[in-house]
Amino acid sequence: MFSWLKSRLYRLLRRSERYTKMDMVYLTSGSFWAFVSQFMAAAIALVLAIIVAHFIPKDAYGTYKYVLAVVGMLATFSLSGIGQAVFQSIARGFRRSLADGFIANLRWSLLIFLGALAVGGYYLFAGNQTLGIGILLGGCLTPFLSSFNLYTALFNGEKDFKRTALYGGGLTNFIPALALTTVALTAPTALNLVIAYFVGNIAAAAFTYWRGARRYRPAPNAERDPGLLSYGKHLSFMGILGGIAGNIDQLLLFHFGGAIDLAIYNFAIAIPDQIKGPLKMIDTMTQARFVNRDTRDIHRSIYNKMMWLTITSIVIIGVYIVAAPFIYQWLFPAYRASVPYSQIFVFSLLSIITYPLNSYLSAHKKIFGQYGMTIVGSTFQIVAMVFGVVYAGLLGLVIARVATRLFVSLTAVYFYRNAIRT
């Protein structure tokens, strides 16, 4: 009975490809595991968010998020693009790239430590032990966490979406959430939250990395990818401005609005960003297929993919706007002030429409387009968020985030068309 249903479903998916212009068997298989991954991650995140909303003071939570943002900012000055480079390399069959990327990432992490020493030392000298110790701790542990997190590049490069879901969506979310929950119920201070975050994440990532490395162990005579480090450096360099843009919202709001506003902001963007998770997985799946496909073949179906993403994003946005007040009232009553900001921020999901264009630029290593999108988009985001926070506070920041994502989508269209012409 099961084999009959499987056979019928297979034929149905193949017939549907004449309308969708996509490999529906591959997409459905990967989408199933993307759904499983997102379901587990969302369930864990939901429970953790409820615990945070009820047991952690807003100022402690806001301070904790500020420490993570500072450490994240410092991490942009390391080999932050090595994960994408390892993913590309493994997708082309170079399994030794996992270990090579791990070692290279650690070697290039000196700037994180030096930056954390300078910033953390400043806060210690100023008498703020929570920020000083938290930033120093994060600077020491982040290189190991980012290196162990290369397991994601391994599983995605091998198209092993099942393990990406079970480990990436399950284990590596559950262990850190358990650590944070323990702190929230016993000693909910900002510094304890920082310690729990790094200890929990490193433990889960290290175990998953070890499991993945054992399963996909390269042959003794396996070739190395000669372009791995070079491409990783390119991605890291272009990611510096993007990393600053990606963390500056937390820093600006902490200094201009305070820890409580920062807590409200993080709850406002949390659910829309969770919704984007499975859609981002589709982007990863698409990129893994684009690596070995001809440009003209990709171009024939790419706009059809964008049409389906447009319909999907519009439906999700409409449903969320209606549901948001009830979600926050039932689950996060302490953060009902986040509702209007979250309803505005959900419009940023329109940016998923151009995911296939981003996938093409990355999969075919269109360096000019990637540099262009990063520089133009990040510059726009930094300027927009500075003006938004200074002149309109939290509301201005949320509007700036939405405007940035839509602007970056437009730049993706431009750079894709330019890449196709050349």
Query: What is residue 316's predicted lDDT score, i.e. its pLDDT?
Result: 92
Determine, yes or no, domain membership for 276: yes
- Name the residue with higher pLDDT: 342 or 4: 342
| pLDDT higher than threshold 80 for residue 361 | no
Query: What is residue 93's predicted lDDT score, i.e. its pLDDT?
Result: 80
| pLDDT higher than threshold 70 for residue 287 | no
Confidence of residue 4 (pLDDT cuts 50, 70, 90): very low
Confidence of residue 282 (pLDDT cuts 50, 70, 90): low
Residue 125 belongs to what domain range? 22-421
Determine, yes or no, domain membership for 355: yes
Average of pLDDT values for 271-283? 73
Number of domains in the chain: 1
Burial state string for 7-34 with b = 16 or more CB within 10 A and e = fewer than 16: eeeeeebeeeeeeebbbbebbebbbebb
Confidence of residue 172 (pLDDT cuts 50, 70, 90): confident
Determine, yes or no, domain membership for 86: yes
Determine, yes or no, domain membership for 11: no
Determine, yes or no, domain membership for 114: yes
Q: Are 188 and 57 in contact (CB under 8 A)?
A: yes
- Name the residue with higher pLDDT: 139 or 290: 139
Confidence of residue 129 (pLDDT cuts 50, 70, 90): very high
| pLDDT higher than threshold 90 for residue 162 | no
Determine, yes or no, domain membership for 238: yes
Q: Are 208 and 173 in contact (CB under 8 A)?
A: no
| pLDDT higher than threshold 60 for residue 92 | yes
300: left (phi over 0), alpha (psi -120 to 50) or beta: alpha
pLDDT tens digits, 292-326? 666 676 667 777 778 888 898 899 999 999 999 99
Query: What is residue 1's predicted lDDT score, i.e. its pLDDT?
Result: 46
pTM for the model = 0.80
Taking the C-alpha atoms of residue 123 and residue 146, their distance in angstroms, rounded to an integer, is 25
| pLDDT higher than threshold 90 for residue 269 | yes
Confidence of residue 393 (pLDDT cuts 50, 70, 90): very high
Average of pLDDT values for 389-410? 92
Taking the C-alpha atoms of residue 307 and residue 121, their distance in angstroms, rounded to an integer, is 51
Q: Are 363 and 88 in contact (CB under 8 A)?
A: yes
For the chain, percent of residues with pLDDT exceeding 70: 82
Determine, yes or no, domain membership for 7: no
Average of pLDDT values for 140-145? 93
Question: C-alpha distances in angstroms, 67 versus 34, 60, 139?
Answer: 30, 11, 10
Determine, yes or no, domain membership for 158: yes
Q: What is the mean pLDDT of the chain?
A: 83
| pLDDT higher than threshold 60 for residue 6 | no
Q: Are 228 and 83 in contact (CB under 8 A)?
A: no
160: left (phi over 0), alpha (psi -120 to 50) or beta: beta
